[in-house]
């Protein structure tokens, strides 16, 4: 499976800004790790809203 949404777990601070913004609702905060995860990458619009909103540049769209 191709990786589209790349999340750097060591940078993510779990702020949830990308989760709130994502129009496709495919990002969520994992309750165990408190880090951002992606559910269904195939639904990603690739418009990079999450990249722009992330304060620590932990998320990249390929």
Where does this chain bind ligand SF4 (CB under 6 A)?
A: 5, 7, 12-18, 21-24, 26-27, 36, 44-50, 53-54, 56, 58-59, 61
Check: CB of residue 53 under 8 Å from CB of residue 21. yes
> Minimum CB separation from ligand SF4 for residue 25, in Å?
8
Q: Which of 31, 45 has the CB closer to ligand SF4?
A: 45
Check: CB of residue 55 under 8 Å from CB of residue 28. no
Q: Which of 3, 48 has the CB closer to ligand SF4?
A: 48
Instruction: Give the DSSP H/E element, type plus range, for residue 3.
Output: none
Q: How far is CA 5 from the centre of its chain?
A: 7
């Amino acid at each position: 499976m191709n990786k589209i949404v790349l999340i750097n777990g060591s940078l993510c601070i779990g702020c949830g800004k990308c989760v709130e913004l994502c129009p496709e609702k495919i990002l969520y905060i994992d309750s165990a790790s408190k880090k951002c995860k992606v559910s269904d990458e195939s639904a990603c619009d690739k418009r990079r809203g999450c990249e722009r909103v992330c304060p620590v540049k932990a998320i990249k769209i390929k």
